[in-house]
Amino acid sequence: MDRGLWSFTRHPNYFGDSLVWWGFYLIAFSAGAWWSIVGPLLMTFLLMRVSGVALLEKNLKKNKPGYTDYVARTNAFFPWFPKKRAGV
């Protein structure tokens, strides 16, 4: 999990899904539907806190050895540079 997108975020697929929703919002906003921001806000919240990351992480921490170490150095949702590992 230290290569590719997974070295920058633990859930690049969920982050990508949220970007799709934000893209739809930008299209709608450009047509005057400013109120459509509800969709991407709700979907991003659900992906981060309810059904996506939160639900999956609960199982992965229990079932995957070494996952807590991966959690310590990699952001959950928003891609960012990995944190330095101790001793590296």
From the list 60, 53, 51, the residue with the least C-alpha distance to 78 is 53
pLDDT at 26: 97
pLDDT at 87: 57
Number of Cβ within 10 Å of residue 32's Cβ equals 8
10-residue mean pLDDT series, the chain (88 residues)? 89 96 97 97 96 90 90 94 74
Q: List pLDDT tens digits, range 15-24.
A: 999 999 999 9
pLDDT at 88: 54
Q: Kindly state the DSSP code that residue 27 receives in the 8-state scheme.
A: H
pLDDT at 61: 87
8 A C-beta contact, residue 20 and residue 83: no
Helix axes 38-45, 12-30, angle to 10 degrees: 170
Return the structure tokens found at 81. Answer: 């540079």
pLDDT at 86: 61
Q: How far apart are alpha carbons 56 and 76 in whole angstroms? A: 11
Number of Cβ within 10 Å of residue 39's Cβ equals 15
* Entry pTM: 0.86
